[in-house]
């Protein structure tokens, strides 16, 4: 018989609550402290293809669902949100991928909370997971739009718009926190001659090989991209005069090495002329860019395939 509380009827029969959980669109399951699955609702069945009788008694460590994060890390072995929730008593949420019964990866959003006994001790955890396909597709489209806005389609490096923003950010941090930075202006030598002699397809390949070489020459903290046409720009952080010179020369050397690849494939050679300048307090980004640009043209006049540093 139901019992009345605050004007609402609450059935005592546990089957009522099981039926309620089974009608949820979300997947729900409970585990004990050893992560053994004790309950698996119909929503979990619909989302994964696995019925309760196939999973009850199995442990997460058996890796049937093969949860992975966006970087491909196997969460059932390390980094499991269920374990984290039981260890710290907190709520955890993550966007992960599971493998359904048909072997397909399904993006899901998981929310985990600890389960406590009457004395407050943690005896297990509950996970609620939902299909994240629509949200995942929306994130993919947003990332694609972001790439269109800030990336050069030919070289797959950041474009001028992104570099201008990065340059102004670096300048602001320099003015406020005195975090030093410099600019490298780099021009692909003789692109017009490559286009005229070997065709524009070879010219595009020259730009792509140059882009890869420059990205490999610089550090993760640096931002390098295509400034426009045959010109590249890098914002290099936490540098002094010597480290700026080292980075500029490394860019020249890496493009020189990449030239071997292009020469073997197309018969063309590539090199860059570089101008490198450290930021000065009170200097506008356009002034810094002008100094680096002038040094780059000086490198060209001095024979190309070299770096000028100030």
Task: Report how far Cα 218 is from the mean position of its chain's Cα atoms.
Answer: 18
Q: CA–CA separation, 8 vs 259, rounded Å?
A: 78
Task: State the pairing for strand pair 122-131/105-116.
Answer: antiparallel
Q: How far is CA 124 from CA 20, 53, 117, 190, 305, in A?
A: 21, 20, 9, 67, 65
Which stretches does DSSP call E strand in the chain? Answer: 3-5, 8-10, 27-32, 37-40, 92-99, 105-116, 122-131, 181-188, 223-228, 231-237, 272-278, 307-309
Size of the chain in residues: 310
Cβ(124)–Cβ(86) below 8 Å: yes
Q: CA–CA separation, 111 vs 63, rounded Å?
A: 19
Q: Which residues pair with 5 in a beta bridge?
A: 8
Q: CA–CA separation, 184 vs 289, rounded Å?
A: 9
Q: Would residue 230 show up in a list of annotated catalytic residues for this protein?
A: yes
Which residue in the list 13, 230, 240, 293 is annotated as catalytic? 230
Catalytic residues: 230
């Amino acid at each position: 018989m139901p019992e009345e509380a605050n004007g609402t009827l609450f059935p005592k029969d546990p089957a009522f609550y099981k039926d309620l959980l089974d009608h949820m669109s979300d997947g729900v399951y409970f585990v004990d402290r050893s992560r053994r699955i004790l309950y698996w609702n119909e929503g979990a069945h619909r989302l994964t293809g696995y019925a309760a009788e196939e999973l009850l008694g199995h442990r997460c460590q058996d890796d049937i669902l093969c949860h992975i994060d966006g970087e491909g890390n196997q969460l059932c072995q390390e980094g499991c949100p269920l374990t984290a929730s039981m260890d710290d008593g907190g709520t955890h949420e993550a966007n992960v991928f599971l493998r359904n019964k048909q072997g397909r990866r399904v993006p899901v959003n998981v929310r985990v909370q600890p389960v406590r006994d009457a004395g407050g001790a943690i005896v297990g955890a509950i996970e609620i997971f939902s299909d994240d396909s629509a949200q995942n597709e929306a994130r993919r489209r947003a990332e694609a739009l972001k790439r269109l806005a800030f990336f050069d389609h030919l070289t797959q490096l950041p474009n001028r718009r992104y570099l201008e923003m990065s340059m102004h950010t670096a300048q602001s941090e320099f003015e406020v926190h005195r975090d030093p930075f410099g600019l490298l202006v780099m021009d692909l030598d003789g692109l017009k001659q490559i286009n005229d002699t070997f065709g524009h397809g070879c010219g595009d390949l020259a730009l792509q090989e140059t882009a890869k070489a420059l990205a490999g020459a610089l550090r993760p903290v640096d931002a390098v991209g295509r400034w426009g046409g045959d010109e590249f720009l890098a914002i290099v952080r936490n540098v002094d005069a010597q480290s700026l010179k080292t980075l500029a020369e490394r860019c020249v050397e890496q493009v020189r090495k990449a030239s071997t690849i292009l020469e073997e494939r197309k018969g063309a050679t590539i090199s860059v002329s570089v101008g490198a300048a450290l930021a000065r307090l009170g200097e506008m980004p356009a002034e810094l860019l002008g100094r680096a640009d002038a040094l780059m043209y000086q490198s060209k006049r001095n024979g190309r395939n070299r770096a000028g540093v100030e």
